[in-house]
């Protein structure tokens, strides 16, 4: 496996990785590795093939503690509002789920270093003053490790759940921009906020305690021009999806235009935004074993539930994904030996991704295998260093 030519060289001020603040760790890590939590029933694959994965909090907590021990950078889960039995089918896929905001809050006292990102729908009735208070509290509790993945919602059915009319796509990002401006004003200015906006207003609003390091980590998701423009102004990380589908060759061919747009628009604002993507990883000691697992997942696929999941509102992020790819799960699929999976991750890096938010078919054993066999290969390739930290102290 070749070394990543884009990895930052260890240079600059002395120090160790453990001396970096949480935001510095995310900014200076050469390549981010996060865990996409299975806070919903049936994990990330529309398959009844037996596995240990469960949505229960005790299981989630064990995963996150193990991810932290493996030096993962961040965790978050999806936020979704579904009717009874979720996507239906024999699995009742995602028929049960934990709220990701409450889950990450509960993980605060069970972790010490990993960044905890709460996915939050911003347009279903939440006021920015409320989220500013909740977030500042969690940021204080975690010592600056809390962040928000701010999303607008895109499923037509979700708006009805909250008794609201669906809002046009680009207008949603105008609203999210104003919502975030309120958050930043409340977090960064040590004075009462009096503001009348287009969508929200506040009189004499003030937040205590103050966030630990300026403002908390901000994440968003999308691939549209409106979402990229929003990210360029406000986000630290942008969760992107492959415009080319889940197959790795198609993904890396399509990604540079998207990641290039994210980087360029952020640079034009005098900012840096790091795109991260979600690979579902099926890694075994040999490619043959990994392919056999892939085939078994498909053989037990819940086609009805997977088909229902393809009705995704007005988002275009998953347009090239086939039904088979949806059954197996993930936005990009990396299948093979540890060396093949590591090489696939390096290709995503070379396509402009600054990190991955991984998911697995069977999380606990697959995370253990990934940590034991793949992470050392990523470190050897220079993907786990910190810019400005001596090389022999870069991997915590």
Domains recognised in the chain with CATH numbers: 17-393 (3.20.20.30)
Length of the chain: 396
Residues 163-174 have pLDDT tens digits of 999 999 999 999
Residues 208-246 have pLDDT tens digits of 999 998 899 999 999 999 999 999 999 999 999 999 999
Q: Can you tell me the distance from the alpha carbon of 162 to that of 125, in angstroms, rounded to the nearest whole number?
A: 8
pLDDT of residue 311: 67
pLDDT of residue 12: 39
Asked if residue 187 lies in contact with residue 205, where contact means CB atoms within 8 angstroms, the answer is no
Strands 193-196 and 201-205 turn out to be antiparallel
CA 11 and chain centroid, separation: 28
Q: Is 3 exposed, middle or buried (0-12, 13-18, 19+ CB in 10 A)?
A: exposed
Residues 106-165 have pLDDT tens digits of 999 999 999 999 999 999 999 999 999 999 999 999 999 999 999 998 888 899 999 999
Four-CA torsion 52, 142, 146, 113, nearest 10 degrees = -60
The strand ranges marked E within the chain are 32-36, 74-76, 115-121, 146-151, 193-196, 201-205, 217-221, 237-240, 274-277, 279-283, 332-336, 355-360
For the whole prediction, is pTM greater than 0.95? no
């Amino acid at each position: 496996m070749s070394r990543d030519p884009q990895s930052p060289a260890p240079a600059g001020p002395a120090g160790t990785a453990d001396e970096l603040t949480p935001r510095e760790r995310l900014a200076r890590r050469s390549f981010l590795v996060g865990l996409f939590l299975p806070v919903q029933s049936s994990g990330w694959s529309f398959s009844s093939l037996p596995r240990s994965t469960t949505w229960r909090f005790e299981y989630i907590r064990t995963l996150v503690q193990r991810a932290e021990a493996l030096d993962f950078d961040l965790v978050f889960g999806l936020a979704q509002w579904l009717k009874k039995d979720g996507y239906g089918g024999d699995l009742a896929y995602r028929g049960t789920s934990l709220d990701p905001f409450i889950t990450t809050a509960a993980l605060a006292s069970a972790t010490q270093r990993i960044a905890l990102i709460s996915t939050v729908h911003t347009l279903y009735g939440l006021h920015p003053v409320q989220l500013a208070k909740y977030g500042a509290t969690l940021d204080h509790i975690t010592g600056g490790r809390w962040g928000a993945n701010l999303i607008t919602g895109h499923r037509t059915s979700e708006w009805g759940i909250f008794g609201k009319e669906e809002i046009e796509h680009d207008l949603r990002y105008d609203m999210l921009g104003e919502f975030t401006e309120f958050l930043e004003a409340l977090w960064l200015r040590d004075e009462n906020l009096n503001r009348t906006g287009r969508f929200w207003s506040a009189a004499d609003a003030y937040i205590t305690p103050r966030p630990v390091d300026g403002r908390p980590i901000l994440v968003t998701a999308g691939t549209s021009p409106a979402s990229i423009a929003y990210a360029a102004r406000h986000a630290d990380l942008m969760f992107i999806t492959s415009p080319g589908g889940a197959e790795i060759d198609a993904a890396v061919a399509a990604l540079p235009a998207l990641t290039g747009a994210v980087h360029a628009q952020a640079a034009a604002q005098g900012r840096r935004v790091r795109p991260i993507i979600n690979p579902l990883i099926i890694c075994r000691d040999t490619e043959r074993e990994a392919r056999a697992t892939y085939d078994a997942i498909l053989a037990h696929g819940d086609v009805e539930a997977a088909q229902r999941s393809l009705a995704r509102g007005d988002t275009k992020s998953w347009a090239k994904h086939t039904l088979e790819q949806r059954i197996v799960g993930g936005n990009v699929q990396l299948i093979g030996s540890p060396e093949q999976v590591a090489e696939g991750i390096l290709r995503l890096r070379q396509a402009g991704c600054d990190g991955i938010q991984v998911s697995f078919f069977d999380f606990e054993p697959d995370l253990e295998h990934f940590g034991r066999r793949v992470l050392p290969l990523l470190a050897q390739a220079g993907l786990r260093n910190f810019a400005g930290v001596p090389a022999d102290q870069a991997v915590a």
